[in-house]
């Protein structure tokens, strides 16, 4: 089923002007959904071809929507799908078995690559938009022992194509304060290095509760991220200016319920944030204004907007 409006028990926001269209994922219901940014016109786009959907990205130039599916983490059966923006013409881009548990997904702004983090695969990956030329950029572990250590789990990702960097989170175990945000050059390895033995990785933040998804505003070099760990620094929306003389984390807002996805829109002074409790929030860039766009929609993961 695709393209059907939702009716019934779903509660919508009270704003009367939606200026963006939101696209988001219900991990528990295995659905791709969409709504205006005021909560109106809530629609199921896809409720097939999903198995634990987690990361979502838009290729606006070609009118495509991409999303990752975690599958069953113990089975190494994750995959990546694509559809038109209305949910039609669903096709497989990366079939099961080529990525273990794909999480957040991004598209190069002007390029032709998809980038994602593979949690139990313990790696940062990319491929062409058609699914070809799959590469591992970073490998944080091998085998069952490393896989059991959540400090090796790669989850959130952001790409700065102009400066040639990839950013990612390694979230650590639940509520463990062992999460990290890291950065590495996007292309090319130092002589003698491999994805598993890179000497060019910078640790930007450590001892975070449980960092999840990332987004980078390249105009201001501001990195935003969600953290689903324990309060006071978990279940928060955070940011840091990467050009500052000293890197400092700023908590913009807290009190979310398992914060996961985010979509940043500086020109509209808005960050849209989704949480596993089934809510979508609109947060001002200074964190001072927060409104609920939708609630009780399922178990929400990735979100993006156009």
pLDDT per residue as tens digits for the range 217-265: 999 999 999 999 999 999 999 999 999 999 999 999 999 999 999 999 9
Residue 117's DSSP bridge partners are: 124
Phi-psi region of 130 (alpha: psi -120 to 50; beta: other; left: phi over 0): alpha
- % pLDDT > 90, the chain: 91
User: Cβ(179)–Cβ(187) under 8 Å?
Assistant: no
User: What per-residue confidence (pLDDT) applies to 188?
Assistant: 83
Polymer length in residues for the chain: 306
Alpha-carbon span 22 to 212, nearest angstrom:
19
151 phi and psi angles, rounded to 5 deg: -65, -20
Is pTM beyond 0.75? Reply is: yes
User: What per-residue confidence (pLDDT) applies to 187?
Assistant: 87
Of 62, 10, 60, 13, nearest in space to 31 by CA: 10
**CA distances (Å), 160 to each of 115, 157, 165, 215, 217, in order?**
11, 10, 5, 10, 9
* DSSP-assigned letter for residue 7: -
Fold of the domain built from segment(s) 4-14+21-305: Neuraminidase (2.120.10)
For CA atoms 57, 301, 83, 115, the dihedral sign is: positive
In the chain, where the domains are located: 4-14+21-305
4 pLDDT more than 80? no
9 pLDDT more than 60? no
């Amino acid at each position: 089923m695709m393209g059907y409006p939702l009716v019934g028990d779903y509660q919508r926001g009270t704003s009367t002007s939606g200026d963006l269209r939101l696209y988001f994922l219900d991990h528990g219901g295995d659905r791709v959904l969409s709504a205006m940014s005021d909560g109106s016109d809530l629609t199921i786009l896809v409720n097939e071809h999903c198995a634990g959907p987690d990361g979502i990205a838009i290729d606006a130039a070609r009118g495509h929507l991409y999303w990752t599916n975690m599958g069953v983490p113990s089975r190494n059966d994750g995959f990546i799908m694509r559809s038109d923006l209305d949910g039609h013409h669903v096709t497989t881009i990366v079939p099961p078995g080529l990525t273990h548990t794909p999480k957040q997904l991004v598209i190069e702004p002007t390029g032709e690559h998809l980038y994602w983090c593979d949690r139990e695969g313990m790696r940062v990956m990319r491929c062409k938009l058609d699914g070809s030329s799959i590469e591992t950029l970073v490998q944080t572990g091998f085998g069952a022992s490393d896989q059991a250590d959540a400090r090796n789990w790669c989850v959130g990702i952001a790409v700065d194509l102009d400066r040639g960097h990839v950013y990612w989170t390694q979230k650590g175990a639940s509520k463990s304060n062992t999460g990290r945000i890291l950065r590495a050059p996007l292309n090319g390895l130092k002589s003698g290095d491999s994805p598993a033995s890179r000497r060019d990785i910078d640790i930007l933040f450590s001892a975070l509760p449980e960092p999840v998804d990332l987004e980078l505003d390249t105009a201001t070099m501001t990195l935003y991220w969600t953290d689903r760990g324990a309060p006071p620094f978990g279940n928060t929306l955070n940011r840091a200016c990467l050009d500052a003389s000293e890197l400092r984390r700023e908590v913009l807002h807290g009190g979310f319920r398992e914060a996961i996805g985010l979509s940043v829109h500086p020109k509209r002074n808005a960050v849209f944030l989704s949480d596993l409790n089934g809510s979508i929030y609109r947060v001002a860039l200074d964190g001072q204004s927060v409104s609920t766009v939708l609630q009780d929609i399922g178990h929400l993961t990735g979100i993006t907007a156009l």
